[in-house]
Structure 1
Amino acid sequence: MTVRFVEDHFVESYYPTIENQFSKNIKYNNQDYAIEILDTAGQDEFSIMNEKHLVGIHGYLLVYSVTSRQSFELIEFIRDKILNSIGNEDLPMILVGNKCDLNLQRQVDTKEGQQLAHKFKCKFVETSVKDNVNVNIAFEGLIDDIERIQNPIIKKNDKCIIM
């Protein structure tokens, strides 16, 4: 998914490693962003997430394959591990069901993804990296959430109280 977003092509034979780091400069909503992405593909419940996966990260895409029940069931464990380490529930996350182009091999219904996202109180999107469906939407949605938390809109009638 990261290769598709950063380099705009599909890698048929992607071999996930412990981590890969990517950079991309984008213009989104008339704002320039220098994005650093740490792709931790291949993590599982037995992997020990390095502290750099948790500290100083502004947001997370929690990605599972709709063709793998196991990857879906692992998402809640990974999310809990992140939240327990950070100690902050107000962390931008988007739940992503990838490989929506493989409907005949689907093991996780769209509704299940939506329900889990509702439980997590986060956005949900299904993507197809192969067909380039909703990949940018997932990353841009995360940028929106990060901006909302880091730069909240101050209402005109808000008051400042100083003691």
Structure 2
Amino acid sequence: MARQLNKKLRWYVASVCMGFATIVFATISFATTASAFNAPTGRVVLEVGGNIEITNVGDEAHFDKAMLEALSQHTTITSTPWHDGVVSFEGPLGRAILEAVDADGDQVKVIALNDYASSIPVSDFYDHDVILAMSADGKPLRVRDHGPLFVIYPFDETPSLLNEEILTRSVWQVKRVVIE
């Protein structure tokens, strides 16, 4: 009887230890995953800083083209004051970028190559399908075409967005965003 009780006790202790080890391993794995993702292998086209939890270069998240293409993509077909006619823009949803870095803030400061900056409320990215366009009519946006990234709102879908306040948020030649 004592031998059988001892065997059950050992089994119980082993089970508890294995369960504890599994929890510790899962916690470490989650913490590692939640704090970093792979560094870009191509040319960096977007730097994200500020109040973010998930990073890959120091305390920032850097994205190359392939990394941005791996995020949830969206096509916005709209006219803009800067283009003739209707254009089909494609790129990651702004909210997909915010979620990829686990952003925590109320404002997204968007900075262009020429250091022009505009602040966009985080709510804009969830209230509208705002994208960081990487292409227009199927062609990659070059710097001369307002690229490599261009903040595009769905102006034709929601005509009330076509106002001076929103137009100043439509930053082109985006190089960096800072979550505030």
- What TM-score do you get using the length of structure 1 for normalisation? 0.30
Greater C-alpha radius of gyration: 2
Higher strand share: 2
**TM, length-normalised to structure 2:** 0.28
